[in-house]
Amino acid sequence: MPEPEPIRPNDNKPLGRFSKNTALIAGMLLLFVMATSLIRNNDPASAVTYTEFRAELSRGNVHKVTVSNREIDGEFRAPFSKADQEITRFQLILPGEMTDGLIEDLEAEDVIIDAKTSQPSWGQLLLSALPWLLFIAFWIWIFRTMQGGGNRAFQFGRSKAKLISPDTPKVTFADVAGADEAKQELEEIIEFLKDPSKFSRLGGRLPTGVLLVGPPGTGKTLLARAVAGEAGRPFFQMSGSDFVEMFVGVGASRVRDLFEQGKEHAPCIIFVDEIDAVGRHRGAGLGGGHDEREQTLNALLVEMDGFETNEGVILLAATNRPDVLDPALLRPGRFDRQIVVDAPDVKGREGILRIHAKKLPLSDDVELALIARGTPGMSGADLENICNEAALHAARQDAEKVSMKDFEQAKDKVMFGTERRSLVLTENERQLTAYHEAGHVVLGVKIPGLDPVYKVSIIPRGRALGITASLPEEDRHSYTKEWMEGQLAMLFGGRVAEEIIFGPKDVTTGAGNDIERATAMARKMVMTFGMSDAVGLVSVGDSEQEVFLGRELGQRRVISEHTARLVDEEVKRLLDTAHERAHEVLKEHGDLLESVAQALLERETLGREEIEALERGEALPPQPVPASEEISASPPDPLKQPEKEAPPPLGLPGADGPLPGPATSIYEEPDHNSEG
């Protein structure tokens, strides 16, 4: 196989450097001429006054004069002393026009008289011509720009793709973990680029396009960078938003220019990040869609698989919204492969942590495998953030190495937010929050099949006044009906505990998010997962599709009024059953509810071991409070009630969206929907 031709990332650099040097030299010459002119015209040693000139003329000491308008240059017969200097040549400006009387006086003293026309100095000439020179240079630049862009003014139609040069720091597959299947698929592409005959001899062809699909933060862009480092071929990088411009037709022109550059460097790889910015379904939206965006998409479709073949040009793209892409873009011949880059499993998370922990000085007590088991559902970006936060926490403590405690603090910070110890609750609010969280804990440990509760706290974090966190023993990819019904009961644990301890009239708004999430989960059970005998195995959730993100302008009602009423009744039945179940469990285990609440009021935070000890009826040993945590808090706003928030929940297979249930924590309000 012939050696790949050298990559020239920017052929215009020498020309640009030459132009800058030329401009610098010209500017220095201009300054030199102007300074010389000013010095010559303002030399105090050669300037004499008109009075001194007349005095020397009357003494007969003037030998020769040269007259130019009102300026006189001359020579003395004998040196003239002025300011401790001997002046032989002199200059002066006449106070008026040259008169006949002055000429007669000069002739009487036998002075040689000469005359010349006045000429401006070089400095004056350059200063007067400078605006015109700048104007001419500007228009020369405009014409060169228009010619360089293929007769496209200002190069608007040129592609903004960046060519990765060989001297760029490389990212290889060794720097990527948690995506083994994706790496295997991409390794075939790289091998195809290096040795096409290995596959073509059996009749195979080079894939046209590869689409990386997955939630945000899972490493799609990192995989593309690794492909650039492994391939050893020209690699063009561009974002989908770079095709969009304020002028009509610019996007399509940039697509054509991008593939022209690819053909010149074939075989090569073109990477387009966030391709959904330009590849959305045609005809969607008001008025039939966005004409400019559709023109760009049409140009992309033609370049990928049109009349002209782009042999050796592979298009690598990434998106987290494959559902909105145009079907013509996804067919074989354009994007031949779709590689799913999902959230990593426990083994992948451990590998990601090891990669990011290479640059950290770790103490001997750090167990990355244990951290990996405690971070289900997290992406690679989340794990990188945990490593970074752990390093920052260790630096704030002036530690020499990053310890396991630093990682635990970083994990809690990423999952639940920063502790707000400066926010002090009133005693009444502390009791409300303690019993609320204790209710969740009791339901979590007494209902079989639920994920173990590993931490509960009444220390405000983020926007929450308290948290109860559960972690699965292993990665969970599907959920049973029993688990979801138990989850509904656990969500109502806080509200039911308030009802039992303080009475129905003194319940707070702290359960608002719990009720919202329980309702969403129950609706998913009935409408999507077929877990209602009354409704049956019927999906009735099409009407929940987002407008303007899909293909429809409006929402269609695909269920009857009777079915809608039946769905509402089933959702209400599931919620009432969960509430009653929570009430029965808390009534039965009231002593555990009381002990957990009192322990929270005393310690503020309980771990898994302490919760298990309370469940067995054991007394907790006294625990000294670290000095760093002995911070008093100020009273909160009296109108503010306990609220809950949580990281993005884990989605279920077959669901249109994420299940409003826990991933790593149970009682936190999700701030956005997870993708994928």
Residue 181 a catalytic site member: no
State the residue for tokens 């999430």. 517
Helices (H) and strands (E) in the chain, counts: 21, 13
ω before 642 within 30° of 0 (cis)? no
Three-class DSSP category at 445: helix
Q: Radius of gyration of the chain from Cα atoms?
A: 40
What does the H/E/C string look like for 589-650? CHHHHHHHHHHHHHHCEEEHHHHHHHHCCCCCCCCCCCHHHCCCCECCCCCCCCCCCECCCC
292, 389, 437, 570: the catalytic one is 437
Residue at 449: amino acid letter: G
Cα 577 from Cα 522, distance rounded (Å):
11
Query: At a CB cut-off of 8 Å and minimum separation 6, what does 671 contact?
Result: 645, 648
Torsion of CA 513, 515, 517, 519, to 10 degrees: -150
Residue at 319: amino acid letter: T
Residue at 59: amino acid letter: R
β-bridge partners, 71: 68, 93
| Residue 359 DSSP label | T
Q: Which of 328, 340, 99, 90 is nearest to 213 (CA)?
A: 340
Instruction: Write b or e for each residue in 276-298: b if 16 or more Cβ atoms lie within 10 A of its Cβ, otherwise e.
Output: bbbbbbbebbeeeebebbbbbbb
Contact 43, 133 (CB under 8 A): no
State the pairing for strand pair 112-115/235-239: unpaired
Cα 318 from Cα 272, distance rounded (Å):
7
CB half-sphere exposure, 455, CA atoms < 13 A: 18
Question: What are the φ/ψ torsions at residue 560 (nearest 5 degrees)?
Answer: -80, 170
Report, as residue numbers or ranges, the catalytic residues.
437
